[in-house]
Structure 1
């Protein structure tokens, strides 16, 4: 599989609504485990994206994941408890906040991938 194929695969894997899943786990089970899964999964995708390709899958993937998460969060808007659970932020504000915070470990892992790639 060439670099283009790997980049497309990484973008497709990024299409999963990571932030929505994390927020839903928090809401339904009162568990922070979903946030941990999100950090690990997106960091692995960022590592492989940087190691096998470039920044394009990372950028496109995070944007698409955010859009898909926004769609699912909007679908939950009818649930009154969902709207007040994340106070003082609204679910959409938390989506943006968590998405930006999730970029930090991804950038760190991408720097690690760059160092590892230069060694090999």
Structure 2
């Protein structure tokens, strides 16, 4: 029961639109700090998922986060520069998918570290 409730809490924390937030920071401030924050927070969440649960909350959370990022991205489609070339060579929707997939790499590394910490 404890692992299920921890898993639900971690999925809820994953529901933040990390990729959209990062893209919005990049677009508004021309800074990459949003991407750094995304990598750090999602890696920490991945560590906690592997340490306390199995990997299923990680998969569900990343899917929800990507879906919510797509939802907020649709609201920005009326901004001319947002989808008109700022994220070249990708459209904003394509960038959400690419960044989400690339963000799985540091999460996987964090899961490996959590497994080693838990087993030692």
TM range (shorter): over 0.9
Partner of 1:68: 68
Once residues 102 and 74 of structure 1 are traced to their aligned partners in structure 2, the CA distance between those partners, rounded to angstroms, is 21
Structure (1 or 2) with the greater helix fraction: 1
Once residues 34 and 44 of structure 1 are traced to their aligned partners in structure 2, the CA distance between those partners, rounded to angstroms, is 15
1:106 aligns with 2:71: no
Partner of 1:116: 117
5+ residue gaps, structure 2: none
5+ residue gaps, structure 1: none
Moved over 4 A (4+): none
TM-score under structure 1 length normalisation? 0.97
TM-score under structure 2 length normalisation? 0.97
Deviation per CA, 1:83-110, whole angstroms, max 9, x where unpaired? 1211111001111110000000000000
